[in-house]
Amino acid sequence: MNRVESGPALRYAVVIPTIGRSSLQTCVDALAAAAGPPPRQVVVVDDRRTPASGLPLATPDALRGLLAVVTSGGAGGRGPAAARNAGWRAVSPEIPWIVFLDDDVEVGADWGALLAGDLAVGPEVGGVQGTVTVPLPAGRRPTDWERNVSALAGARWITADMAYRRDALTETAGFDERFTRAYREDADLALRVRDAGWKLVRGTRRTRHPVRQADRWISVRLQKGNADDVLMARLHGRDWYERADASRGRRTGQAAITASAALGLLALVAGRRRWAALAAAGWLVGTARFAVARIRPGPRTASEIATMLATSVAIPPAATLHRVRGWWRHRGAGSWPGRPAAVLFDRDGTLIVDVPYNGDREQVAMMPGAGEALRLLHAAGIPAAVITNQSGVARGLLTAQQVGEVNSRVEELLGPFAAWAVCTHGPADGCRCRKPAPGLVRAAAEAIGVTPQACVVIGDIGSDVAAARAAGSRSVLVPTPETLVGELAGARVATDLVAAVRWVLGTEGVRS
């Protein structure tokens, strides 16, 4: 069986989604000027809704030949999650690390040098976060908007500066494109990367995130993110706030204020003036307390106070309405990216007991749970295929006919498969099909009529996982006594075949 050797991966690419902010040039210039190993590629993703012309971006000399501009797809304006997906998928597959930057940040002068150290991590690490600093004005207290942005300095796994291993992005299918706004798509990805078996750590590089200008109603528009919080709860459970180290905000108080306002209006329409007055008093007290809590830490200028008073009236109903909208919109939301189009199984050690170089159909025995796993897939209408290395043919230890007879016996025991992809080459033949190369995965997917990205590979050793990732497929590792401990690092691990298939179907999680 082929095994996978891993070592420190120092090559990286940078992906910067943009909506055409003027700060993009500053971001790219700072990246070009940073000391240390340069990126192998820089991909700027144009996510403007109506890009009538090219981005106003001049390529610095240090990045000439390395920087490319792509679009997020469709008519544009698909949001940061879709833009980042378009970016990392445009990066050369040989580059193992993708660093995501926002278009309004400035990396530090030694950013590249520190990044090289950050990425010299073990295979169990799937992502490394940079340290983000938010400069606040000197000589006065920050405004409500400035305080909001400054929270990024303590946020976990934000893509203002976040490096992900390509394999982690492949295994999770990247960012969930149902998040069309910023702020939650990065927390969602981080939780899924950890669920898939990787660790996330903090690095030493530093990136500056200036506070951009915003109008006085920005805090009201930000309430649209409440719908994303509902989606997060659907996907990760109600404890996702604690797991992502995110703030719950004031949603209970906001709901109470909104309810008071609604009850007051209903009572007034019904002619119940006393009840209307009581509800109005509750609304007034709640709104006043909310406004004071926002005014107290700020600069308390006339303009800031006026903004806080106006927006404190608008925020509770806006937040509540967006939560209701999110509840309705995402009421049936399933995991990203949903069920695969096909499942590709390794043969020996996964579907059947591994008998080295077996050419005798009488020695074929099913692995525990194999029959039930295939039954579950069949019931769900998901085709299954087999991808298997059979180097015994190249070694002269068995014949292609014997391999075929064993495969026939497997189908007698487990039922027919949608496709078989068999590599009979030896390790020294340099073929593109033998796992951990992606050839078998691609061949099986093509035979079924699906893309490798729409497949999940289930196997028992590291070469199965590596072949899946090389082809752009997700994977599940079902360990046996032959599985090396090192192969569990950074892998999605299931205790048995049935658990693996239940994860594929979205009915059961797997351990990491």
Give dist(CA 352, CA 366) in Å, integer: 4
Residue 75 has a pLDDT of: 65
CB-based burial of residue 154 (10 Å sphere; 0-12 exposed, 13-18 middle, 19+ buried)? exposed
When computed from its CA atoms, the radius of gyration of the chain, rounded to whole angstroms, is 27
d(CA 16, CA 159): 10
| Interatomic CA distance for residues 273 and 90, integer angstroms | 63
Below-50 pLDDT ranges, the chain: 1-9, 512
Query: Going by C-beta distance under 8 Å and a sequence separation of 6 or more, which residues neighbour residue 256?
Result: 282, 286
Report the pLDDT value the prediction gives residue 249, as an integer from 0 to 100: 80
> Residue 509's pLDDT is what?
59
Burial 453-474 (b: 16+ CB within 10 A, else e): bbbbbbbbbbbbbbbbbbbbbb
Euclidean distance between CA atoms 212 and 233, whole angstroms: 30
Taking the C-alpha atoms of residue 296 and residue 143, their distance in angstroms, rounded to an integer, is 10
Sign of CA dihedral 136, 32, 189, 20: positive
Q: 428-432: long-range contacts at Cβ-Cβ below 8 A with a sequence spacing of 24 or more? A: 429/394
Per-residue three-class SS string for 359-377: CCHHHCCECCCHHHHHHHH
pTM for the whole thing?
A: 0.90
Question: Which amino acid does the sequence have at 112?
Answer: G
Strand order across the beta sheet in which 199-208 lies = 67-71, 41-46, 12-18, 97-101, 161-165, 125-133, 199-208, 106-107
What pLDDT was estimated at residue 7?
A: 39
Distance CA 452, CA 496 (A): 23
Tokens of 491: 């892998």
Q: What pLDDT does 63 receive?
A: 96
What are the structural domains of the chain? 12-214 (3.90.550.10), 215-334 (no CATH), 342-505 (3.40.50.1000)
Active-site residue among 188, 348, 460, 464? 348
Q: Which of 346, 429, 464, 496 is catalytic?
A: 346
- Residue 226 CA to residue 327 CA, distance in Å, equals 10
Residue 328: CB atoms within 10 Å: 10
The encoded tokens of residue 204 equal: 């030493």
How confident is the model at residue 264, as a pLDDT? 93
Long-range contacts of 212-215 (CB under 8 A, 24+ apart): 212/21, 212/23, 212/104, 212/149, 214/145
From the list 7, 60, 15, the residue with the least C-alpha distance to 33 is 60
In our burial notation (b when 16+ CB lie closer than 10 A, e otherwise), range 34-73 reads beeebbbbbbbbbbbeebeeeeebebbeebeebbebeebe
Q: How far apart are CA 99 and CA 489, in angstroms?
A: 21
State yes or no: is 346 an active-site residue.
yes
Question: What does the alpha-carbon distance between residue 171 and residue 476 come to, in Å, rounded to a whole number?
Answer: 9
DSSP letters, 15-28, are: EEEES--THHHHHH
Paired sense of beta strands 199-208 and 106-107, if any: antiparallel
Q: Which residues contact 24 (CB under 8 A, 6 or more apart)?
A: 16, 18, 44, 55, 56, 57, 103, 104
Token reading at 11: 């090559």
Q: Catalytic annotation on 496?
A: no
Rounded Cα–Cα distance for residues 446 and 381 (Å): 18
CA angle 113, 490, 479 (to 5 degrees): 155
Structure tokens at 102: 């926002």
